[in-house]
Structure 1
Amino acid sequence: MEAFLVSTGVVALGEMGDKTQLLAMLLAVKFRKPVPIILGILVATLLNHATAGLVGGWIAQALGPQILRWVIGVSFIAMAGWMLIPDKIDDDESTALRFGVFGTTLIAFFLAEMGDKTQIATVALAARYQDLVAVVAGTTLGMMIADVPAVFVGDRLAKKVPMKLVHGIAAAIFLVLGVATLLNVGHLF
């Protein structure tokens, strides 16, 4: 349960103001069809985070426990710093005409998540907890918690939520996880 809850919370906070949340807002404004957009986000996130979780599990098995602890700890601390860097989005409309709302959303979200903070977080969380299902379910739920309201509310959400505060909280969580991992402290959450 810890892996699921931490994964959900970290990704939900980390996704606030992220480029994929901005992408959800842009798609909602452009297409005005929330259901296929939400389904596209869900499928893309499940595919992307399941792959990331498998990589995290492989890393956990390939490295010894001492090396793994340092790699994960440093990764979490690096994520804390990365959370403080705002995201920008590249708008590519070439796929919209060919694949419809669902397909465009699926492709755009899958590609936008490649190497993104939440994908890297999923790798690190899967390596730390070694529970693929709980981590992928949690990170996917976290994405949906952040992105579904963005679809419905659009850019009103971005104007009302202080993104610096949200990113600061997410950075603090990653920092605490990183330091706890490096110090080999048991489960904090």
Structure 2
Amino acid sequence: MALLKAFLFVLVAEMGDKTQLLAMACASKYKLKQVIAGVFAATLLLNALAVLIGTYLGSYIKFEYVKLAAAFLFIGFGLWGLKEEDEEEIEGEACSLKEDKFGPIITVGTTFFLAELGDKTQIMTLTFAAQEKAPILVLVGATLGMMVADTLGIAGGTLISKYLPEKYIKFGAALIFIVFGITTLYEVLPIQYITVINQIVFYVILAVLIYVIGFRRKNKK
């Protein structure tokens, strides 16, 4: 269950993310197998760090607090996913290291590692590791999820974008995480906190954040 959960949610989170675009940009400069090798090495290292930290935190913090933090983090992941990425800036920084000095695989891996370090998918993996108490399964699931998403981005990103614009993919992923976060809140919060007033305040604040992060900036453009 932990493997499947980590796989599915990391896969959804990575779709349309800046690192998926980075992988696509690198694929335009190097061979497919070189890009995949670099991305895999960086992904494995990133997720291993996240699992180590998450497992440590999960051993010293009560499960209820971990689950409560996870709920807010998932809502945060959803809001984060509504932010627009500057595609020109992403393509400009992709594989910007001197490949003649480091080689294609190290160049791709280092670029991907630096771009993904501290990103929502790594924080999500950390959260799962703290919550699920199955570090190896979380590591495997998260790594597979990221690799599938980035491989799809490299191989089929252009084809997918012809039929389904990236903004709809990102919006759908964001909605999934927000809903998951809300349902987790209902599971972990004591019943005395789930009052009508508190729910109204919460949903009003959430709606304002969604508007400001996801729609106000687009309307300005």
Asked if Structure 1 and Structure 2 have the same fold, meaning a TM-score greater than 0.5 normalized by the shorter chain, the answer is yes
Residue 136 of structure 2 is aligned to residue 138 of structure 1:
no
Residue 28 of structure 2 is aligned to residue 29 of structure 1:
yes
Taking structure 2 as the reference length, what is the TM-score of the superposition? 0.75
RMSD of equivalent CA atoms: 1.9
Q: Which deviations, in whole Å up to 9, do the C-alpha atoms of 1:45-103 show, x marking residues without a partner?
A: 01101111111112212212232222111111111111111333251523323211111
Give 1:54's aligned residue: 52
Q: Which moved more, 1:87-96 or 1:48-57?
A: 87-96
Please state which structure has a larger fraction of its residues in helix. 2
| Structure 1 runs of 4+ with >6 Å offset | none
Distance between the aligned counterparts of 1:103 and 1:82, measured in 2? 29
Q: Identify which of structures 1 and 2 has the higher relative contact order when contacts are C-alpha pairs closer than 8 Å and 6+ apart.
A: 1
Give 2:17's aligned residue: 18
Contact 1:84–1:171 (8 Å) recurs in 2: yes
Q: How does 1:100-115 map to 2 (within 5 A)?
A: 100-115=103-118
After superposition, the Cα gap between the structure-2 partners of 1:15 and 1:127, relative to the gap in structure 1 and judged at 3 Å, is same
Taking structure 1 as the reference length, what is the TM-score of the superposition? 0.87
Distance between the aligned counterparts of 1:10 and 1:103, measured in 2? 27
Distance between the aligned counterparts of 1:50 and 1:87, measured in 2? 26
Give 1:3's aligned residue: 2
Q: State the 1:178 CA deviation.
A: 1.8
After superposition, the Cα gap between the structure-2 partners of 1:87 and 1:181, relative to the gap in structure 1 and judged at 3 Å, is same
Distance between the aligned counterparts of 1:28 and 1:108, measured in 2? 13
After superposition, the Cα gap between the structure-2 partners of 1:129 and 1:177, relative to the gap in structure 1 and judged at 3 Å, is farther
Residue 126 of structure 2 is aligned to residue 123 of structure 1:
yes
Q: Which moved more, 1:124-133 or 1:19-28?
A: 124-133
The residue type paired with residue 24 of structure 2 is M
Give 2:84's aligned residue: 86
The SS at the match of 1:30 is coil
Contact 1:69–1:184 (8 Å) recurs in 2: no
Contact 2:97–2:111 (8 Å) recurs in 1: no
Give 1:177's aligned residue: 180
Contact 1:17–1:86 (8 Å) recurs in 2: no
> Which protein has the larger Cα radius of gyration, Structure 1 or Structure 2?
2
The SS at the match of 1:184 is helix
5+ residue gaps, structure 1, are none
Q: How does 1:161-176 map to 2 (within 5 A)?
A: 161-176=164-179
How many residues of Structure 1 are paired with residues of Structure 2 in the alignment?
183
